[in-house]
Structure 1
Amino acid sequence: MSGVLANVDLRTQLAGHNRLELLLFRLAGKQLFGINVFKVQEVIQCPHLTSIPDSHSVVRGIANMRGRTITVMDLDRAVGGAGVENPEENFVVVTEYNQYVQGFLVGGVDRIVNMNWSEILPPPQGIGDDNYLTAVTRVEGELVEIIDVEKVLAEVIGWNEEVSQEFIEEAENQDDERKPVVLVADDSSVARNQIKRTLDKLGIECVLAMDGKRALEQLQQWAGDEVDIPLHERIFMVISDIEMPEMDGYTFTTEVRRDPRLENLHILLHTSLSGVFNNAMVEKVGANDFIAKFQPDVLAKTVLNRLKLWRDEKTAC
């Protein structure tokens, strides 16, 4: 147990300084890809796969790994390739996203590199909205593409995006002289749209930012507006992803807390990461709370609870 806690502490320090570790791998070709090590449970030689009739074409089968059955997806097929040939001669990266464990079949694993989030850049403009990238970077001069795994999982598994009627009715019963506003920061277009659809159903306006750097710039711009109302009275919360190019959610939160004009903003970290690590970082960087992706009712309940407190605070003033 002490070893586990030491590892959590080490990773906490790493992320607290806008850094991350990437597992580099290849699919069916020479292109190099990356995935945050935090989401990787293990990398193993592909075991025997049992095919499932009528399953999604990306699903190569299921496998029994350490007493649990997991789905193995061909990541090359998921992003439009022909797929990895001879699966059992290749590797499976076992990951946890949004509280689901699955394996991604890859052609070969390269190495782990330690990087700064400022070196992780948004995809170049002009590649279209249907691409599967959340970011790109370079390692020793070689281009590394970071796949939007949330988009892959949404297409293969599908997420429930329905908000329970009780939360919709609760939102309808809360009157305000103007529509409440939330700032949302997330590098995944799928995640941004999921959050927006949930907030739309609650009658809440949201402004979208593609990463922490852009979200911080937006807040600073608003704070500089020549109005007499403090920013925390104009927007009632910020919802931020953690893993984002240029500036991660932890660093974003730290920078917000350092700015006297922004320090009172309510920040919810909304992440596909989970576990002890997040609890430690929420406390360290000064976020108000975090919830796991993507559970629309949990998000709706959290947002409405905060909205009620925000309205009560304004009334008390």
Structure 2
Amino acid sequence: MFHGGDLDAARRAFPDAPEPWIDLSTGINPVPYPLPPFEASALQRLPSAVDLLALKRLAAEAYGAPGSEGVAAAPGSQILIETLPRLRARSNVAVVGPTYAEHAAAWARGGHAIEMVPDLPAAGRFEAVVVVNPNNPDGRVHDAGRLAEVARDLGARGGLLVVDEAFADFEPGFDEPGDLGPAVVRLRSFGKSYGLAGLRLGFALAEPGLARRIEAALGPWAVSGPAIAAGLAAFPDRAWRQEAALARAQDAARLDRMIERGGGRIVGGTSLFRTAVFADGPTLFRRLGEAGLYVRRFPERPNQLRFGLPPDKGAWCRLSRVLKPV
């Protein structure tokens, strides 16, 4: 399974590429939140239950959850993807795709029967449905009314709708997503939008009983003291989040123009990544790699490449030189 962010693999594939590498293979905000220094106690003592509760209250407010009792905090959204299948009896699961491959893999590892479907399925076909919204890698956004219909159908049958909103923070229409009902769990990624993926902090938003089951499955002290401190510092800074959303949208538009000048056709994305099709994707991937630029490729769709946002002027210039029309 291919993932972004593996610069060791990039160096092995392109040993003569110039350093430093520019990693455009992830959808992480390249301009991180300016965290204040940690207090030493965040590293020296076990995480505080009081601080964790305060973090969950801030997350509920930021993500439009009814209250902290419906928030489960985790060391990144990936562990939540792994945990949810273990909380369900073996069942028929629809994954709306193509999408982030770890969802189907996690449910399959849990012994569930997986079917990839191109759209939200009709009523009564599955016991669980997984959808990434906005989708990765094409940025597709699903209609809120249709999601609510699927949630009602699943809720009436004891099912579950998993909505992965890892890339929703900077997207229009996700500011106040609201509550889709008791059959829904929404996943949010702190690290992607705040540019702090190494902290490993994510959240599941669900009805309180399910949120408690998720936290019980994760065990005590699942979220580190530094990650809690980072969330407590960053969540209240609404101005930064608004400014970052605007700046990244402008960056995405700039990246679109650069890709199109280089012969690419934009097929989707979000404010944190853009996906394009090229006449000869493998050759462009090689040229980028030889220039020390790592983008996300898709072996099953070799002419499609996904570009994260360059972090600074130097990175923009290096990318522009490779994408310059011949």
TM-score when normalising by structure 1: 0.30
**Structure (1/2) with the larger strand percentage:** 1
